[in-house]
Amino acid sequence: MRAALVATAALALAAAAGPAAAEVWDMPMAYADGNFHTQNGKLFAQCVKTGTGGKLEIVVHGGGSLFKGNEIKRAVQTGQVPIGERLLSAHQNENAVFGYDSVPFLATSYEDSEKLWQAARPIIEKVLEQQNLVLLYSVPWPPQGIYTKKPLESIEDMKGVKFRAYNAATARLAELMGAQPVQIEAAELAQALATGVAESFISSGATGYDRKVWDYGIKYFYDVQAWLPRNYVFVNKQAWEGLDEATRNVMRACAQMAEVSGTKWSQVYAGWSLEQLRKNGIQVVAPSETLREGFRRIGETMTKEWLEAAGEDGRRIVEAYRAMK
């Protein structure tokens, strides 16, 4: 009897002093489960779990399955979920500065994209902070090119074409080409092509591969290398402040690692995905001189417009970036 009582008391004590129940954070991500951003997000989650000894578990929900791409930022801001990933340039209507990574031909290589990000980071962090968000890390998409069903000799060939856009810059590009912009998340891209809602779009080899666009009449990829847009992982500020210092340190360290590994992964995936496009019958081609000249002129207009819209913050980003080159 006495032994049983002691055993019960010991169990109760062990329960009280034992490891605290793991906190579980859902993390919505918008892109295909096999995509490097999503896979890298899972590595980040694993790092946090290991680093906190299982105290914080982050569960990644890829492919827009928990929240759709265009809902994720608001969901994190309002605390519906503590953490999430978003292509911030899709919110450049809120603040033009979010479009700094989609200014045509400002940074077209991984090296320049990294410099531009270092130049922009303090400002992006400040703007996100004002929106109740703490930035953790950012990973670039591969360089952006144009997918078409028909050969593209000059910008005029885009007249009247239904052009899928993923942010304000890509919609403006469509307008300036004389095409018809239609805003569609990557998760719905295949369906839009299949139903004829979109006939052409700008994106990376990665997204063309993820969505198997050769199955929907796409025949060409013009490797324009217009810019490298980025995804950003951020945390709701109250959720962040609710973590103890040790956990926040683990999160920061894992975020740094994720930024490095994700960037490397993006670079490798860039070449690999173009190879996959080719294997599936898409012609991956360099734009003609005429086409390049057309894009260059459109790029000049868009750069001017963005600098006007982004004001002082935009000017500071471009200045800091140019100083690094």
Binding interface with ligand PCA (CB under 6 A): 87, 141, 166, 186, 203-204, 206-207, 229
Which C-beta is closer to ligand PCA: that of 170 or that of 236? Answer: 170
Q: From the CB of residue 209, how many other CB atoms can be counted at a distance below 10 Å?
A: 23
Nearer to ligand PCA, 106 or 250 (CB): 106
Residue of minimal Cβ distance to ligand PCA: 204
Least Å from the CB of residue 141 to ligand PCA: 4
CA distance 206 to 143: 9
Tell the smallest beta-carbon distance from residue 186 to ligand PCA (Å): 4
Cα–Cα nearest to 29, from 17, 18, 42: 42
In sequence order, the β-bridge partners of residue 164 are: 182, 201
Q: Could you tell me the smallest distance in angstroms from the CB atom of residue 15 to ligand PCA?
A: 47
CB of 181 to ligand PCA, least distance (A): 14
Which DSSP string corresponds to 208-247? HHHTTGGGGT--EEE-------EEEEEEEHHHHHTS-HHH
Nearer to ligand PCA, 117 or 141 (CB): 141
In the complex with ligand PCA, the residue whose CB is nearer, 204 or 263, is 204
State the sign of the Cα–Cα–Cα–Cα dihedral 208, 210, 216, 219.
Answer: positive
CA separation for the pair 69, 30 (Å, rounded): 5
Based on CB atoms, which residue is closest to ligand PCA, 40 or 204?
Answer: 204
| Least distance from ligand PCA to the Cβ atom of residue 222, Å | 14
